[in-house]
């Protein structure tokens, strides 16, 4: 079995690559940070004796995505699972103050990047007569919160695209699922706040957030249902979080 996981250099993607590898899957891991990919490839090969293909590209760039994925040898095109995970939030600003570069980054990564990868891998799955695509959405794709405007819009787009993809790929026997997490402590907030680790830590202050492993296990569960079962959508939250704006924090 083969899983292609975008954004496998950190957080959910890395934990997912590890979990699938530990279950004997071969994995295609992608991201921009080449050294991290190489280290992960070595670790997975040594620890689990599986095969790993590393593809280093910027998912915002259609030509880079195309070049990398079209370089994939035939035996690797039998992808059973595509996890569209690469994504980010950049900044947390009102609509009147937001930076255009942040907006472009989020739209290009979370929406266009997901589309670029899907546009190439879905035809492989159609040719193989089977496949499963799991999109990583967010609670931000179900609700909108103050200053989350464009990030929330990109995740609402992932929500809509998941539903659309499910319809289009139905005749081809390809399952399409979404997992929409609430607060999870990864590099996500450090990226959102441009490397400000102190500010990032405050996001999770006084509560126990989800971990990357929680999400990897959810992805595993969704991917390992019997062939006649599709999990359309899962919203997964820390027990201390009720919705985007309501969390119970200990002082």
List of residues contacting ligand 8X3 (CB under 6 A): 138-140, 148, 182-183, 244
Q: Which residue has its beta carbon closest to ligand 8X3?
A: 138
What are the tokens at 87?
């994504």
Which residue among 23, 43, 51, 58 contacts ligand NDP (CB under 6 A)? 58
CB of 219 to ligand 8X3, least distance (A): 15
Question: Among all chains, which residue has been given the structure tokens 């959910």?
Answer: 12
Interaction of residue 191 with ligand NDP, rule CB under 6 A: yes
Among this protein's residues, is 145 annotated catalytic? no
Closest among 219, 224, 227 to 178, alpha carbons compared: 219
Supply φ then ψ for residue 234, to 5 degrees: -130, 125
Q: Which does 11 bind (CB under 5 to 8 A by kind): ligand 8X3, ligand NDP, none?
A: ligand NDP
Task: Say how many CA atoms lie within 13 Å of 196 toward its Cβ.
Answer: 10
CB of 198 to ligand NDP, least distance (A): 17
Interaction of residue 17 with ligand NDP, rule CB under 6 A: no
The percent of the chain in helix, strand and coil, each rounded to the nearest 5, is 45, 20, 35
Long-range contacts formed by 44-49: CB under 8 A, 24+ apart: 44/17, 44/18, 47/21, 47/22, 48/21, 48/22, 48/24
Interaction of residue 136 with ligand NDP, rule CB under 6 A: yes
By annotation, the residues acting in catalysis are 151
Task: List residues near ligand NDP by CB under 6 A.
Answer: 7-13, 31-33, 58-60, 85-88, 109, 136, 138, 181, 183-184, 186-188, 191
């Amino acid at each position: 079995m083969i899983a292609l996981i975008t954004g496998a250099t950190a957080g959910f993607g890395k934990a997912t690559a590890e979990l699938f590898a530990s279950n004997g899957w071969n994995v295609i891991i992608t991201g921009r940070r080449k050294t991290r990919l190489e280290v992960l490839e070595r670790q997975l090969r040594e620890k689990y004796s599986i095969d790993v293909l590393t593809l280093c590209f910027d998912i915002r760039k259609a030509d880079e995505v195309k070049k990398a994925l079209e370089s994939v040898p035939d035996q690797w095109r039998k992808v059973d699972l595509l996890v569209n995970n690469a994504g980010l939030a950049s900044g947390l600003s009102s609509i009147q103050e937001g930076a255009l570069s942040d907006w472009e980054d989020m739209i290009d990564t979370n929406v266009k990047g997901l589309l670029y990868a899907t546009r190439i891998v879905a035809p492989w799955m159609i040719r193989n007569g089977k496949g499963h695509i799991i999109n990583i959405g967010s609670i931000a794709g179900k609700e909108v919160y103050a200053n989350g405007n464009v990030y929330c819009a990109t995740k609402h787009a992932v929500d809509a695209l998941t539903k659309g993809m499910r319809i289009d790929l139905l005749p081809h026997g390809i399952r399409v699922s979404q997992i929409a997490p609430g607060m999870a402590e990864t590099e996500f907030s450090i990226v959102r706040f441009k490397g400000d680790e102190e500010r990032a830590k405050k996001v999770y202050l006084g509560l126990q957030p989800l971990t990357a492993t929680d999400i990897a296990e959810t992805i595993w569960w969704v991917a390992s249902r019997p062939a006649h079962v599709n999990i359309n959508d899962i919203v997964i939250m820390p027990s201390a979080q009720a919705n985007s704006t309501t969390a119970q924090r200990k002082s």
